[in-house]
Amino acid sequence: MKTTTILVIGYTSQEQTALQIEKLQQFGAEVIVIEPHGGSEPGDFGVFAWEGNNVYWHDIDISSKQLSAILMSTRLPETPGKDTFLQAPGQRLLWQDWIQHYTVQRHFTESLHSLLLNYEHAGVPMFNPPGQTMLTQYWPYQLRMLQSSGARVPPTLLSNHPNRVVDFINKHGDCTIKPAASSSPALSANQLLAGGQLQARAFPPAILQQRVRGEDVRAIMVNGRVTASYMIVRPRYGSQAANNGQAQYIEISLPKSVDLQCRRAAALLGLKFNSFDLRKTEDDQYYLLECNPLPNYIEVEKRLHLSITADLCHALLAAD
């Protein structure tokens, strides 16, 4: 009988990943972990060898025929983390150090990415395939796929044309703006317009959206199915809960039409494990705002006693 072997790309030091590994092992799977970021010294990475169809991680055979499924618990880093350099207070970053560390990390990441693409081509089930995860990170493309799913999405403009940006704000009223290639928080486009920061000259492409007021809702998807949905109630500014940074989670059921939109959107994006951020308005309209192909759910799972990890692990074990 073939052993069920799950390859996990992630960090055992992260609570959510550690829980996923523990649950897979409880369900009888053999788990192999690859941590995609090296330590503080250049070349401090795990070693692997890939020749034709044969792949070894250290001395463990991780060829495609040995794997039942793959779980991506983290993104593949293109650059070294800050801990690579900040080993002492006030430490200065030397350019030659940056080039050395960056080059090593890039070589390792591109090799690992190529290996994962090979697994995908060989038909190894993957949550989520690297190609789909990468595409989802391109937010303008992601938004277009959300629109194509039939979901209700706020009016959106991608532009660095000052006149068209101004026209969009004048047409839609209260709007947000954020860089097209950044996960930075959205700012008030109206305030930037009032301050003269959007009219003077062309600026890097940005995403503008009509602001939708309402309740924050999140849906966790496993293998094309909504496995958990909940409302996030953030405390009022100045309250004791706000001082503690404590949000309240309330489990809810999505309307069938919204559930279907989430399933269509996940399928269009090619994702097997993801979350959707939604906004529910006062008149019970749901807007799909954003998709995360690597959802962080550990806190809400513990507080609402959900079974997200178990559902994910069952799906991985059934994927072979």
Is 255 inside a domain boundary? yes
Is 48 inside a domain boundary? yes
Is residue 220 domain-shared with residue 291, that is, in the same domain? Answer: yes
* pLDDT per residue rounded down to tens, the chain (320 residues): 467 999 999 999 999 999 999 999 999 999 999 988 755 554 467 888 999 999 999 999 999 999 999 999 998 876 665 555 555 556 666 666 667 777 778 888 899 999 999 999 999 999 999 888 888 988 889 999 999 999 999 999 999 898 899 999 999 999 999 988 766 788 999 998 888 888 766 678 899 999 999 999 999 999 999 999 999 998 765 555 544 567 899 999 999 999 999 999 999 999 999 999 999 999 999 999 999 999 999 999 999 999 999 999 999 999 96
The whole domain housing 197 covers 155-210
Is 133 inside a domain boundary? no
- Domain final residue pick, 210, 235, 251: 210
CATH code for the domain of 310: 3.30.470.20
Domain count for the chain, please give it: 3
Is 0.75 topped by the overall pTM? yes
Is residue 161 domain-shared with residue 256, that is, in the same domain? Answer: no
- Domain final residue pick, 210, 244, 277: 210
Is residue 96 domain-shared with residue 109, that is, in the same domain? Answer: yes
Is 146 inside a domain boundary? no
298 class by beta-carbon count within 10 Å (0-12 exposed, 13-18 middle, 19+ buried) = middle
